[in-house]
Amino acid sequence: MNGFIYDIPVKVYFGRDQLGHLGEELRKYGSRVLMTYGGGSIKRIGLYDKVVAEINKAGLQLFELGGIEPNPRIDSVRKGAQMCKENRIDVLLAVGGGSTIDATKFIAAGACVDFDPWDFIDLKKRAPIEKALPIVDILTLSATGSEMDSGGVISNPETGDKIGRLSSKLLPKVSFLDPTNTYSVSPYQTACGAADMFSHIIEVYFNMEQDLYMLDCFMEGMMKTIIRFAPIAMREPDNYEARANLMWTSSWAINGFIDGGRQLAWSCHPMEHELSAIYDITHGLGLAILTPRWLEYCLDETTVSKYVQFGVNVFGINATLPPMEIAHKAIECMSHFLFDTLGLKSTLTEVGIDESHFEHMARKAVGGGTLHGFKPLQQQDVVNIYKMCE
């Protein structure tokens, strides 16, 4: 069992009617605020006006950068970093989902350097992130967990890359998590978000390194929470209990807590990033398609015990059945949840992806070598998994 450092100093205001604290939190960092957001849904739900009112009330000066795209692009980061420099911004306020927050993280870092912010991301350069402007966020989509983690994923359409980067400097200072801000999320996006957070847990849970049983229990609890509340949130978009459970789960699924000392790489995320880098599909949907096939591919006598634990504790499968039978049933239950309950498309073909880029994407997913995850995967393994998804 490995040691680890736990260090997640994000302050979270959770629940309705917490926005009254926004002004006081922003003011801790200065008076010039750059608000970032996406396609404008925050205007439709009335959140934009509430935020502006709080900022005015606190006597802060507001600058704005809207239009940050899903699978956020380096050009938005460049534009935001430039705005920060030109306007001597003190603090960033990201209002949106994971894409907006991810882009804002690299805007915050880009504002502090003279070089192109793509150099932070580019696998050949990986410029050190030594400082970043402070970030406050208001979350509007439960999915990526960016509100409580230190990472972000940025796409570069010119190079065809979609790459993540972690740095403790990118951790938000304060996150406002109001479940009512997710009431307008469509059933489809709710399903994709649920699949995304489910995958974050699966990537850590399926791991043959021995680690803390307590953390396995937490992960099983979060998976049960998603299974219980995602369908409710899809049917009843303004069910507070469902939205609240999904929201807090999204943060804890990926803030690093459940990792304990586990050091293995993730598997489905790198495979998916290549899909959405080329085809711009929704990240959670790509993960949903890949995850059950990846689990099927990795199942053997050396790994079956983890599937048994998963099947029994998460799906309530009878523990007295033969291990391989439990494992297959567990994968079936998971596929049923993703494709029937959440109603997500189940094949790459259905989302318009064919095999033409499989080799290329697989090579990039394994970084030209081996992906050291739950089971080590080489380029050909990833191609095989993509093919299972057709």
> Which residue type occupies 380?
Q
| Count of residues that interact with a copy of itself, criterion CB under 8 A | 40
**The two structure tokens encoding residue 315:** 């799906």
Work out which of 241, 300, 325, 340 binds a copy of itself, going by CB under 8 A. 241
> Which residue type occupies 307?
Y
Work out which of 48, 106, 118, 229 binds a copy of itself, going by CB under 8 A. 229
- What are the C-alpha distances in Å from 300 to residues 9, 255, 303? 40, 30, 5
**The two structure tokens encoding residue 119:** 């150099």
Taking the complex as a whole, how short is the minimal distance between the CB of residue 214 and a copy of itself, in angstroms? 4
252 binds a copy of itself (CB under 8 A): yes
279 binds a copy of itself (CB under 8 A): no
214 binds a copy of itself (CB under 8 A): yes
Work out which of 120, 248, 297, 315 binds a copy of itself, going by CB under 8 A. 248
Query: What CA–CA distance (Å, rounded) separates 219 from 310?
Result: 10
| Stretch near a copy of itself under the rule CB under 8 A, chosen from 39-47, 244-252, 338-346, 359-367 | 244-252
Query: What CA–CA distance (Å, rounded) separates 170 from 107?
Result: 10
Work out which of 66, 151, 157, 261 binds a copy of itself, going by CB under 8 A. 261
Select 8 or 127, whichever has its Cβ closest to a copy of itself.
8
Query: What CA–CA distance (Å, rounded) separates 309 from 305?
Result: 6
Residues 17-56, interacting with a copy of itself (CB under 8 A): 17-18
Site string for a copy of itself, 158-197 (x = CB under 8 A): ----------------------------------------
Residues 287-306, interacting with a copy of itself (CB under 8 A): none
DSSP states along 245-302: HHHHHHHHTTSSGGGTT--PPPSHHHHHHHHHHHH---HHHHHHHHHHHHHHHH-STT
Query: What CA–CA distance (Å, rounded) separates 343 from 345?
Result: 7
Residues β-bridged to residue 32: 61
| Stretch near a copy of itself under the rule CB under 8 A, chosen from 26-34, 192-200, 247-255, 357-365 | 247-255
Tell me which residue has tokens 């882009």: 103
Classify each residue of 187-226 as buried b or exposed e, where b means 16 or more C-beta atoms within 10 Å of its C-beta.
eebbbbbbbbbbbbbbbbbbbeeebeeebbebbbebbebb
Work out which of 245, 309, 346, 379 binds a copy of itself, going by CB under 8 A. 245
Residue 235, classed as helix, strand or coil, is helix
| Stretch near a copy of itself under the rule CB under 8 A, chosen from 98-106, 209-217, 300-308, 368-376 | 209-217
12 binds a copy of itself (CB under 8 A): yes
| Stretch near a copy of itself under the rule CB under 8 A, chosen from 238-246, 267-275, 278-286, 345-353 | 238-246
| DSSP summary character for residue 338 | I
- Residues in contact with a copy of itself by the rule CB under 8 A: 1-9, 11-18, 210, 212-215, 217-218, 220-222, 224-225, 228-229, 240-241, 244-245, 248-249, 252, 260-261
